[in-house]
Amino acid sequence: MVKKVTMDDLLSEAGEKVNPLIIGETVDGKVLSVRKHEILIDLGARGVGLVPRREASSSKSLEIGSTVTASIVDSEMEDGFALLSLRKAVKDKSWDEIQSLLENAETVEVVPFDANRGGMLVEYEGVRGFLPVSQLSAEHYPRVGGADKEEILQKLNALIGQKLKVRILDVDKKTNKLIFSEKEAAKDVLAERFESIKVGDKVSGIVTGVVDFGVFVNVDGIEGLVHISEISWERVSNPGDYVKVGQSVDMKIIAIDKDRLSLSIKQLTDDPWGLEVSSLKKGETVDGTVTRITPFGAFVQISPAVEALVHISELGGDSEHIVSPENLFALNERKKFKILEIDKDNRKVSLGVASLGKSTKSKDMINDSNKDDSEIKETKKAKKTTKKEPVVKVETKKSTSKKA
């Protein structure tokens, strides 16, 4: 019976200098042949390896005699060849490099090839990774009002094909996990920029997002927020009426919080409130428009920059009968008001309703309320009387029987 000779037998005969092939090991060899479905690699005394076409990521550029690096998938198949993979060798080498990049906090360039609502799909040296939305820089972060998922995806798709500078945030070769961060890559540069700015500086930036509570701005790579209260001296209901995405705006830095700026557009202009209030006098009557109605009173616009308050205590009534602002005012209603107090230090103007005088309307409302109370009392009396009627009928019957 003929004994089957294995690769290990041949290697042992070749001497101690030749090491056996180990699965997972990376080896160098020369291309022997390039066929349609496979590539043969000469491993010298260690034998011949076979690379299936699907495992040769760069097979089209391979030439006979060229040196390649391959990873051992199987040390010996039935035909005696070792099963190799060029693709896995590239990945294994890349994983080592990626680990080194993580440890040294180095910055690299990647190009996204796809996107989903969670972020960007990227590839580095043959290894696929992920760049989450939360790790995008201020320049590329998709600021969208109402968190519209379709609009977010649209903005992310616009980044496909662009070169992005990133750092590696997390690596796990076993689970094939590779997470990138553009935000981390920008930290060093941003730190230098933060050192060059201070509260009170005038800066320019590009609007990256308009939301209900304000405006997001990119200031030379630093993210800033203009709160709705800092857009204009007048009352702002919709920030989108003042700025648009992509628009360049000038602002003042009013606070620096970690890696974000708090900005103001209105503080670059004079406050018109003081100028307009200086023309008002206590006791005079002014025209105003009701802008807001609350449980404690009504806010009234008496000039473009001055919004005053008619407190509920100025609407007439007493401790038992309180006049509701909703019953006395209507939104956008024009009325005459009397200026009761001007507090310039606290930027407050207090008003009373000129036509009330201790309020005719309020008195009417109180009278109506008293009238309602009287009606309620009369109703109660009527109910009591109704309950006594059966007793009256019984007495009538008794009197009739006596007469009989």
3-state secondary structure of 248: strand
Q: How confident is the model at residue 300 (pLDDT cuts 50, 70, 90)?
A: very high
Q: How confident is the model at residue 69 (pLDDT cuts 50, 70, 90)?
A: confident
Q: Give the pLDDT score at 350.
A: 94
Average pLDDT estimate for 271-300: 91
Question: pLDDT digit string (tens) for 218-239?
Answer: 998 889 999 999 999 888 889 9
**Is the CB of residue 334 less than 8 Å from the CB of residue 328?**
no
202 to 51, 116, 198: CA distances (angstroms): 63, 37, 9
Q: Give the pLDDT score at 198.
A: 93
**Is the CB of residue 316 less than 8 Å from the CB of residue 355?**
no
Strands (E), 212-277: 214-219, 222-227, 248-257, 260-264
Count the neighbouring beta carbons within 10 Å of the beta carbon of residue 270.
10
Lowest mean pLDDT among 18-22, 123-127, 383-387, 399-403: 399-403
Q: Give the pLDDT score at 3.
A: 56
Q: Which neighbouring-strand residues pair with 293? A: 298
**Which CATH class for the 279-361 domain?**
mainly beta
Report whether pLDDT(354) > 90. no
Cα Rg for the chain, rounded, in angstroms? 41
Q: Give the pLDDT score at 286.
A: 93
Report whether pLDDT(176) > 60. yes
Question: pLDDT digit string (tens) for 90-108?
Answer: 787 888 889 999 999 999 9
Q: Give the pLDDT score at 248.
A: 94
**pLDDT, greater one: 162 or 384:** 162
Report whether pLDDT(376) > 60. no
Average pLDDT estimate for 394-402: 42
**pLDDT, greater one: 257 or 119:** 119
In CATH, the number for domain 105-185 is: 2.40.50.140
Neighbouring residues of 77: CB distance < 8 A, sequence distance ≥ 6 = 50, 83
13 to 42, 76, 77: CA distances (angstroms): 19, 17, 20
- Does 202-268 match 279-361 in CATH topology? yes
**Which CATH class for the 7-13+20-90 domain?**
mainly beta
Average pLDDT estimate for 244-250: 93
**Is the CB of residue 48 less than 8 Å from the CB of residue 76?**
no
3-state secondary structure of 4: coil
Q: Give the pLDDT score at 12.
A: 60
Q: How confident is the model at residue 331 (pLDDT cuts 50, 70, 90)?
A: very high
Spans of all domains in the chain: 7-13+20-90, 105-185, 202-268, 279-361
Q: Which neighbouring-strand residues pair with 285? A: 338
Q: How confident is the model at residue 112 (pLDDT cuts 50, 70, 90)?
A: very high
Lowest mean pLDDT among 138-142, 317-321, 356-360: 356-360
Report whether pLDDT(152) > 90. no
**pLDDT, greater one: 396 or 108:** 108
Please give the model's pTM, rounded to 2 decimal places. Answer: 0.55
Q: Give the pLDDT score at 314.
A: 87
**Is the CB of residue 236 less than 8 Å from the CB of residue 228?**
yes
Lowest mean pLDDT among 118-132, 165-179, 366-380: 366-380
Ramachandran angles phi, psi of 325, nearest 5°: -55, -35
Take residue 273 and report the two structure tokens written for it.
């409130």
91 to 53, 86, 176: CA distances (angstroms): 16, 9, 10
Which residue, chain included where needed, has tokens 């500086």?
201
Question: pLDDT digit string (tens) for 2-46?
Answer: 455 565 665 565 555 667 888 888 888 999 988 888 889 899 888
Report whether pLDDT(284) > 70. yes
Take residue 259 and report the two structure tokens written for it.
């890696």
Letter for the amino acid at 189?
Answer: V
Take residue 299 and report the two structure tokens written for it.
């806010």
Q: Give the pLDDT score at 387.
A: 47
In CATH, the number for domain 202-268 is: 2.40.50.140
Q: Give the pLDDT score at 172.
A: 92
Average pLDDT estimate for 183-203: 89
Average pLDDT estimate for 381-399: 46
